[in-house]
Each structure stands twice: as C-alpha cells, then as structure tokens.
Amino acid sequence: MSIALVTGSAGLIGSETCKRFHAEGFDVVGIDNNMRARFFGEGASNEGNRKGLESSLKNYRHHALDIRDFDAVNALFQSLGKEIAVVVHTAAQPSHDWAAREPLTDFGVNATGTLHLLEATRLHAPDAVFIFTSTNKVYGDAPNSLPLQELENRWEIDPAHPFSIGIDESMSIDQSKHSLFGASKVAADVLVQEYGRYFGMRTAAFRGGCLTGPSHSGTELHGFLAYLMKCTVIGKEYRVFGYKGKQVRDNIHSVDLIEAFWHFFKKPRVAEVYNIGGSRHSNCSMKEAIALCEEISGKKLPHTYVEDNRIGDHIWYVSDVRKFQAHYPEWKYRYDVRGILQEIHDHTVAGLKGAPLSQ
C-alpha cells in the first residue's frame, strides 16, 4: 500500500492531512515530536491530536523524531523507500516572536529541517510528490507598501490597484523586513522550488494566509482565530497588537487547504508556488473577528490594545488564489470566516469543559 508521510502530523494541518489521506486508503506515517509545547507551553501541546490519530486511524504509524536530525530522517525514509507516494511537510516553528528568541532553533526547524526532508525524498523516494506548507510571511512586510485606505473597521486596498482582488505570486520576496521566522520560511520555500527545478521533483510551496480550524491549539503567539475564540468563551483577556485593530487577514479552514493538497497530489506539477488562503471569500480584520466571536458566543471579549505592532506583521493581506484555481478548477471553498468561527466555538465549548486556558 502507498504511504503518505506527514510531518507535524499532530498539528492542525498535519493531523487533518493524515485523516484525509488515510480515508483515501493510504498507510500514513506521521512525524511529530511535539515541539509546539516547547514553543508555546503545555497549553499548546498536540499530544491529544497524536493520541487521537493513533486510536482512530488503523493504518497510522507515529515517529517522534526531530527533523533537524538528518540521520534519523534519512533512516526512516530509507526504510520506507519508494512506497512513499507523497510527503506533506507541515512541521514548523510558526511564530515571529519566538523566532527572535532562538534564531538557531527557528532556522534549524524551518530551513534545515526542510532541506533534510527534501534530500531524503530525493535519495529514497524521488517520484514522490512533495507538498510544503509555506507562508505569506515570505513576502515580508512588502504588502504594507501597498496603497491602503483606513475604513471604520478595517484597512482596505485601493480598489484600483492590481492586487485589489488579492496578492498574487508576483509580489517580490526580496528587500523587505520578514522577521527571522519569515526569513527561515523563505529559505525553505526556495529550497522546495529548487529541488523541483534542479532535480525535476514534483514539489509545491503553498504560501498560506491564516490557516485555522477547530483542531488548532491556539496560543497568543500563534493561532489567531482559535485563540481569539477561546479567550471569548472563557473570558480571558486578549491583546490586540497595533494597526488600531483594523489589520486584515484572510483565513482558510484546514479542510479547504488539505483539499487543495489532495488536488495537487492527484495532478502534480514541478516546482509550483501557490498563494493559498481565504481570499476575498473569507477574510476579516481583528475588530471584525472580535465582533463575530462575541456574536457567535453571546459573550463579550475582554481585550486591551497594544500600540506596537509585531515586527514584519501585515496591515492587510488577502490571497489571490486564482492561479491555483486555474490549475485545479474542481477545488472549491467549503468555509467562510463565520463558518470557521462557528465550528471553532462549538469545538471549544465541547472540549474545555470548564478547564482554565493556560496559554
């Protein structure tokens, strides 16, 4: 039976990827050593997701190895060999703030870890499809140079600008402030492209907007919508960082993203890059998200405003997904922002059971 190898398998995108490919008849091999708990504390641990995968997926095998360890990665790939049909690489250090605390760890996980996986794939499963969850942070703060207009509840782009429908893949990743996290993801993104172009491997870098869903272990430093809804439900104070709370993000549900992965796997291409996010279909400002959380939960969110925005943070980011849609016209959205938040709310209420939020 063909193998789907998934890194970050107990995280939001990884765990949903495991379920999707398992449902399609694949043996699934997961790699995850729960570094998320080290990054963000025990409240962000994904051990629950790991146990859920092991108990619910008959053909799932878990490996708690560190992708920074090439010998361990290489040994696993060598043991599986050409049975590997697809590698979905979702493992990452995902926070701007955390990267600045430990730059070597951030680069080791995001860049060097990606190189290890690409090289092991090339050596032992060169025909496998390689799918990488990149990020819109590869563009650094270049989106902030767009002509933006301040509206009552959000920033918005000049409707006459070519990116008015969303930012496409033509935006430069050069000469902008990325944060160290953004820089390490740039390195990984370019490596994924290069292994495709240089070695002819079928690779894709999906530059995601805000990736979200009910399985997200949201914390203040990562997992915007999930953490926002948790705070609303339990009455924990939330901090809004900069831009008057009008900064705009597009949000894509994990199910919709993984469906995009599936379409690419079925008809793979070489060295592709796709901006992927909620697009104009699913986006909101921080102020709009707070209002939606309060409306859905029936509770007021206690929150404070911090004037300083995060380094490299975007004022307005909406993805233009038309390139992917042109290549894969059968792919459609299932969720918008309200649908995403409603599902996160229901999952949070069912799962918390009165337990305090630790992060």
Task: Name the residue type at position 172.
Answer: S
Q: What is the mean pLDDT of residues 17-38?
A: 94
Count the neighbouring beta carbons within 10 Å of the beta carbon of residue 307.
9
Task: Decide if pLDDT at 147 tops 80.
Answer: yes
pLDDT more than 70, % of the chain = 95
pLDDT of res. 220 = 62
DSSP 110: I
Give the pairing type, strands 148-150 and 155-157: antiparallel
What is the overall mean pLDDT for the chain?
A: 93
According to DSSP, the residues that pair with 167 across neighbouring strands are 319
**Higher pLDDT pick, 38 / 103:** 103
- Residue 217 CA to residue 331 CA, distance in Å, equals 27
Task: Decide if pLDDT at 153 tops 90.
Answer: yes
Highest mean pLDDT among 28-42, 46-60, 321-335: 321-335
> Model pTM?
0.93
Domain range annotation of the chain: 3-352
Task: Decide if pLDDT at 284 tops 70.
Answer: yes
Task: Decide if pLDDT at 353 tops 80.
Answer: no
- Residue 57 CA to residue 65 CA, distance in Å, equals 20
Confidence of residue 83 (pLDDT cuts 50, 70, 90): very high
Q: What is the mean pLDDT of residues 217-246?
A: 84
pLDDT of res. 215 = 72
pLDDT of res. 352 = 67
Count the neighbouring beta carbons within 10 Å of the beta carbon of residue 72.
16
Is the CATH number of domain 3-352 3.40.50.720? Answer: yes
Confidence of residue 308 (pLDDT cuts 50, 70, 90): confident
**Higher pLDDT pick, 26 / 1:** 26
